[in-house]
Amino acid sequence: MKRAHALTTLMLVAALGAPPGPADAQPATGRGAPAATPGMRVVEEAIETSALRVDLPAGGVGTASVRRCRDCAPRSLLAGTATRYYVGSRAVTFAEAQQALAAQPRTFVAVFFSPASGELTRIVVLP
C-alpha cells in the first residue's frame, strides 16, 4: 500500500461523563486499545486495510469478511440495510462501493463496525 497507516484501530467513544485526564489512565486491554474508562463506552471500531482484503456479501446483505493484513485471520461482520458506503466523503450505493473496490484493489479502506454486535456500520473507500 502506498499510504502509511498512522493507526491500526480507530475507536469512536461516546462520553457519558467527564473526559479522563492523565491521572485517569487505564491499563491496556491487550487489543492495542486502552481499556474503557468508567462512564465511557466503545460504540464503533475500525479496521484499516486494502480493498483486496475486503469481501462484501452479494447484494450488500449478509456476512462480510475483512482482514487487517495478508496473514491476519478474517473478521466476519454483518452487513445489512443500515450499512453505509462512502467513496471519499461522498455517500454512494452498495453497487458503487463494490465498483470502487474492484477498480482500485490496492486502495485504502476503512471498515467501521459495532464491537458489541459485529454489525458493519460503514465502509469508506479512499480514492
SS3 annotation, 9-61: EEEEEEECCCCCCHHHCCCECCCCCECCCCCEEEEEEEEEEEHHHEECCHHHC
pTM score, whole prediction: 0.70
> Is the pLDDT reported for residue 28 higher than 80?
no
91-117 mean pLDDT: 96
> Is the pLDDT reported for residue 63 higher than 70?
yes
pLDDT at 34 (0 to 100): 60
Residue 35's pLDDT band (cuts 50, 70, 90):
low
What are the C-alpha distances in Å from 24 to residues 10, 19, 41? 20, 9, 15
Rg of the chain over all Cα atoms, to the nearest angstrom? 16
Which of 13-27, 49-63, 104-118 shows the lowest per-residue confidence on average (mean pLDDT)?
Answer: 13-27
Q: Look up residue 63 and give its three cell numbers.
A: 456476512
> Is the pLDDT reported for residue 106 higher than 70?
yes
> Is the pLDDT reported for residue 55 higher than 70?
yes
pLDDT at 31 (0 to 100): 52
How confident is the prediction for the chain on average, in pLDDT?
79
How far is residue 43's CA from residue 40's CA, in Å, rounded to a whole number? 9
The position carrying cell 460503514 is 122
59-66 mean pLDDT: 96
> Is the pLDDT reported for residue 110 higher than 80?
yes
